[in-house]
Protein backbone atom coordinates (compact mmCIF):
# COMPACT_ATOMS: atom_id res chain seq x y z
CA UNK A 1 0.00 0.00 0.00
CA UNK A 2 1.49 3.31 -1.06
CA UNK A 3 1.64 6.28 1.28
CA UNK A 4 -1.08 8.03 -0.70
CA UNK A 5 -3.54 5.24 0.06
CA UNK A 6 -2.98 5.30 3.81
CA UNK A 7 -5.68 6.64 6.07
CA UNK A 8 -5.58 7.77 9.68
CA UNK A 9 -4.57 10.85 11.63
CA UNK A 10 -0.88 10.33 10.82
CA UNK A 11 -1.34 9.76 7.08
CA UNK A 12 1.39 11.59 5.18
CA UNK A 13 3.55 12.03 8.31
CA UNK A 14 7.03 10.55 8.22
CA UNK A 15 8.16 9.41 11.67
CA UNK A 16 11.48 7.95 12.77
CA UNK A 17 11.71 5.32 15.52
CA UNK A 18 15.00 4.02 16.94
CA UNK A 19 14.87 0.69 18.72
CA UNK A 20 16.85 -2.14 20.25
CA UNK A 21 20.33 -2.28 21.72
CA UNK A 22 23.54 -1.38 19.99
CA UNK A 23 26.51 -3.72 19.81
CA UNK A 24 29.95 -2.20 20.11
CA UNK A 25 32.70 -4.46 18.81
CA UNK A 26 35.67 -5.48 20.93
CA UNK A 27 37.08 -7.66 18.15
CA UNK A 28 35.46 -9.62 15.30
CA UNK A 29 33.87 -12.14 17.70
CA UNK A 30 33.10 -10.11 20.83
CA UNK A 31 31.05 -7.05 21.67
CA UNK A 32 29.58 -5.04 24.51
CA UNK A 33 25.88 -4.26 24.46
CA UNK A 34 22.94 -2.84 26.32
CA UNK A 35 20.09 -5.01 27.52
CA UNK A 36 17.08 -4.37 25.27
CA UNK A 37 14.61 -6.67 23.55
CA UNK A 38 13.37 -3.94 21.22
CA UNK A 39 9.79 -4.84 22.17
CA UNK A 40 8.74 -1.30 23.12
CA UNK A 41 10.28 0.25 20.01
CA UNK A 42 8.63 -2.28 17.68
CA UNK A 43 5.29 -1.73 19.42
CA UNK A 44 5.57 2.04 18.99
CA UNK A 45 6.37 1.66 15.30
CA UNK A 46 3.35 -0.64 14.81
CA UNK A 47 1.08 1.80 16.65
CA UNK A 48 2.26 4.70 14.49
CA UNK A 49 1.75 2.62 11.33
CA UNK A 50 -1.77 1.78 12.50
CA UNK A 51 -2.52 5.51 12.62
CA UNK A 52 -1.33 5.86 9.04
CA UNK A 53 2.22 7.14 9.56
CA UNK A 54 5.12 6.40 7.26
CA UNK A 55 7.66 4.90 9.68
CA UNK A 56 11.44 4.66 9.34
CA UNK A 57 12.56 2.06 11.88
CA UNK A 58 16.27 2.22 12.72
CA UNK A 59 17.09 -0.81 14.83
CA UNK A 60 20.08 -2.38 16.47
CA UNK A 61 20.36 -6.17 16.77
CA UNK A 62 17.10 -6.68 18.68
CA UNK A 63 15.17 -9.93 19.13
CA UNK A 64 11.74 -8.30 18.69
CA UNK A 65 9.94 -8.78 15.38
CA UNK A 66 10.42 -5.90 12.97
CA UNK A 67 7.26 -3.80 12.40
CA UNK A 68 5.64 -4.87 9.17
CA UNK A 69 5.13 -2.01 6.75
CA UNK A 70 7.93 0.16 8.12
CA UNK A 71 11.10 1.06 6.25
CA UNK A 72 13.63 -0.99 8.24
CA UNK A 73 17.24 0.09 8.67
CA UNK A 74 19.40 -2.47 10.50
CA UNK A 75 22.50 -1.23 12.31
CA UNK A 76 25.00 -2.62 14.82
CA UNK A 77 26.75 0.21 16.64
CA UNK A 78 25.82 3.64 17.98
CA UNK A 79 27.93 5.30 15.27
CA UNK A 80 26.01 3.38 12.60
CA UNK A 81 22.72 4.27 14.29
CA UNK A 82 23.56 7.98 14.24
CA UNK A 83 24.46 7.81 10.54
CA UNK A 84 21.20 5.96 9.76
CA UNK A 85 19.17 8.50 11.74
CA UNK A 86 20.80 11.41 9.93
CA UNK A 87 20.11 9.65 6.65
CA UNK A 88 16.43 9.24 7.54
CA UNK A 89 15.84 12.97 8.08
CA UNK A 90 13.77 15.02 7.49
CA UNK A 91 10.93 13.56 9.59
CA UNK A 92 7.98 15.14 11.35
CA UNK A 93 8.72 13.34 14.60
CA UNK A 94 11.50 11.21 16.05
CA UNK A 95 10.93 8.63 18.81
CA UNK A 96 14.25 7.50 20.29
CA UNK A 97 13.47 4.22 22.02
CA UNK A 98 16.84 2.57 21.38
CA UNK A 99 19.05 1.51 24.29
CA UNK A 100 22.24 2.95 22.86
CA UNK A 101 25.51 1.78 24.41
CA UNK A 102 27.11 4.77 26.09
CA UNK A 103 30.65 3.63 25.36
CA UNK A 104 32.45 1.83 22.60
CA UNK A 105 35.87 0.24 22.69
CA UNK A 106 38.21 3.04 21.60
CA UNK A 107 40.11 0.92 19.11
CA UNK A 108 38.36 -2.35 18.38
CA UNK A 109 40.79 -5.04 17.30
CA UNK A 110 40.63 -6.15 13.67
CA UNK A 111 41.68 -9.64 14.65
CA UNK A 112 40.53 -11.90 17.46
CA UNK A 113 42.20 -11.08 20.78
CA UNK A 114 43.90 -14.27 21.99
CA UNK A 115 44.54 -15.51 25.51
CA UNK A 116 48.27 -15.25 25.81
CA UNK A 117 49.97 -16.63 28.88
CA UNK A 118 47.22 -15.57 31.32
CA UNK A 119 47.67 -11.89 30.44
CA UNK A 120 44.36 -9.99 30.75
CA UNK A 121 43.30 -7.58 28.02
CA UNK A 122 42.69 -3.98 29.05
CA UNK A 123 39.89 -2.26 27.14
CA UNK A 124 39.94 1.47 26.68
CA UNK A 125 36.55 3.09 26.13
CA UNK A 126 35.42 6.14 24.18
CA UNK A 127 32.05 7.85 24.64
CA UNK A 128 29.49 7.28 21.91
CA UNK A 129 27.70 10.18 20.21
CA UNK A 130 24.36 11.02 21.84
CA UNK A 131 21.91 10.51 18.99
CA UNK A 132 18.90 11.99 20.80
CA UNK A 133 20.81 15.09 21.91
CA UNK A 134 22.31 15.55 18.45
CA UNK A 135 18.89 15.54 16.79
CA UNK A 136 17.23 17.59 19.56
CA UNK A 137 19.82 20.33 19.19
CA UNK A 138 19.87 20.53 15.39
CA UNK A 139 19.73 24.13 14.18
CA UNK A 140 18.11 23.20 10.87
CA UNK A 141 15.96 20.21 10.05
CA UNK A 142 15.05 19.37 13.64
CA UNK A 143 11.90 17.21 13.74
CA UNK A 144 8.88 19.10 15.05
CA UNK A 145 8.55 16.60 17.89
CA UNK A 146 11.48 14.78 19.51
CA UNK A 147 10.72 12.10 22.09
CA UNK A 148 13.39 10.44 24.22
CA UNK A 149 13.29 7.58 26.67
CA UNK A 150 14.92 7.37 30.05
CA UNK A 151 15.53 4.00 31.63
CA UNK A 152 16.41 4.59 35.27
CA UNK A 153 16.89 2.54 38.39
CA UNK A 154 16.66 5.39 40.95
CA UNK A 155 14.76 8.70 41.23
CA UNK A 156 13.15 7.96 37.88
CA UNK A 157 11.22 11.19 37.36
CA UNK A 158 13.85 13.66 38.56
CA UNK A 159 16.60 11.98 36.52
CA UNK A 160 14.33 11.96 33.48
CA UNK A 161 13.35 15.62 33.87
CA UNK A 162 17.01 16.56 34.07
CA UNK A 163 17.67 14.44 30.97
CA UNK A 164 14.91 16.20 29.03
CA UNK A 165 16.44 19.60 29.77
CA UNK A 166 20.02 18.50 29.18
CA UNK A 167 19.33 16.89 25.81
CA UNK A 168 16.74 19.38 24.59
CA UNK A 169 14.08 16.88 23.52
CA UNK A 170 10.37 17.74 23.81
CA UNK A 171 9.11 14.70 25.70
CA UNK A 172 10.69 11.95 27.74
CA UNK A 173 9.10 8.59 28.40
CA UNK A 174 10.67 7.47 31.66
CA UNK A 175 10.59 4.04 33.18
CA UNK A 176 11.95 2.13 36.14
CA UNK A 177 14.19 -0.68 34.97
CA UNK A 178 15.25 -2.10 38.32
CA UNK A 179 15.44 -5.89 37.77
CA UNK A 180 12.69 -6.55 40.34
CA UNK A 181 10.14 -4.62 38.22
CA UNK A 182 10.52 -7.27 35.48
CA UNK A 183 10.07 -4.55 32.88
CA UNK A 184 13.24 -5.12 30.89
CA UNK A 185 12.57 -8.12 28.70
CA UNK A 186 8.95 -8.34 29.89
CA UNK A 187 5.72 -7.54 28.06
CA UNK A 188 4.57 -4.71 30.36
CA UNK A 189 5.79 -1.23 31.10
CA UNK A 190 5.00 1.47 33.67
CA UNK A 191 6.01 4.85 32.34
CA UNK A 192 5.92 8.53 33.18
CA UNK A 193 5.38 10.91 30.28
CA UNK A 194 7.30 14.12 30.88
CA UNK A 195 6.44 17.13 28.72
CA UNK A 196 6.83 20.85 29.26
CA UNK A 197 3.34 20.73 30.81
CA UNK A 198 4.48 18.40 33.56
CA UNK A 199 4.58 14.73 34.52
CA UNK A 200 1.91 12.12 33.80
CA UNK A 201 2.14 8.81 35.65
CA UNK A 202 0.68 6.11 33.43
CA UNK A 203 -0.46 2.90 35.13
CA UNK A 204 1.36 -0.35 34.42
CA UNK A 205 0.05 -1.73 31.11
CA UNK A 206 1.21 -3.81 28.18
CA UNK A 207 3.99 -2.40 26.02
CA UNK A 208 1.48 -2.49 23.14
CA UNK A 209 -0.89 -0.27 25.12
CA UNK A 210 1.91 2.15 26.05
CA UNK A 211 2.71 2.30 22.34
CA UNK A 212 -0.92 2.95 21.33
CA UNK A 213 -1.29 5.76 23.88
CA UNK A 214 1.98 7.32 22.87
CA UNK A 215 1.13 7.14 19.16
CA UNK A 216 -2.20 8.77 19.90
CA UNK A 217 -0.44 11.60 21.74
CA UNK A 218 1.96 12.04 18.84
CA UNK A 219 -1.02 12.30 16.47
CA UNK A 220 -2.64 14.96 18.65
CA UNK A 221 0.63 16.89 18.81
CA UNK A 222 1.33 16.76 15.06
CA UNK A 223 -2.19 17.34 13.80
CA UNK A 224 -4.43 18.38 16.65
CA UNK A 225 -6.59 15.37 15.72
CA UNK A 226 -7.54 12.54 18.04
CA UNK A 227 -6.78 9.07 16.60
Residues making up the binding site for CTP: 102, 112, 129-132, 149, 163, 167
* Separation in Å, CA 102 to CA 32, 48, 212: 10, 27, 28
**Which of 207, 188, 65 lies closest to 215, judged by CA?**
207
**Binds ligand CTP by CB under 6 A, chosen from 40, 42, 77, 128:** 128
53 binds ligand CTP (CB under 6 A): no
* Catalytic site includes residue 128: no
Q: Which residues contact 199 (CB under 8 A, 6 or more apart)?
A: 157, 161, 192, 193
Interacting residues with ligand CTP between 154 and 183 (CB under 6 A): 163
16 binds ligand CTP (CB under 6 A): no
At residue 36, φ and ψ (nearest 5 deg) are -165, 130
102 binds Ca ion (CB under 5 A): yes
**Binds ligand CTP by CB under 6 A, chosen from 149, 161, 192, 208:** 149
Maximum CA extent, the chain? 66
Query: Is-cis flag, bond preceding 90, omega within 30?
Result: yes
Q: Whose Cβ is closer to Ca ion: residue 21's or residue 67's?
A: 21
Given the rule CB under 5 A, which of 97-105, 131-139, 161-169, 190-198 is the region that contacts Ca ion? 97-105
What are the residue numbers of the active site? 34
Amino acid sequence: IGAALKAGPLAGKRILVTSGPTHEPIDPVRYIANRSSGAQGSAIARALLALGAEVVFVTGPAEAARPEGAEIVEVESAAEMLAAVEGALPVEAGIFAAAVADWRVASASGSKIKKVGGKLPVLEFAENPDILATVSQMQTGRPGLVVGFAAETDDVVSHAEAKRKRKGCDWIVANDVRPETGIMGGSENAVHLITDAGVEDWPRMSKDEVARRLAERVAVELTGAHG
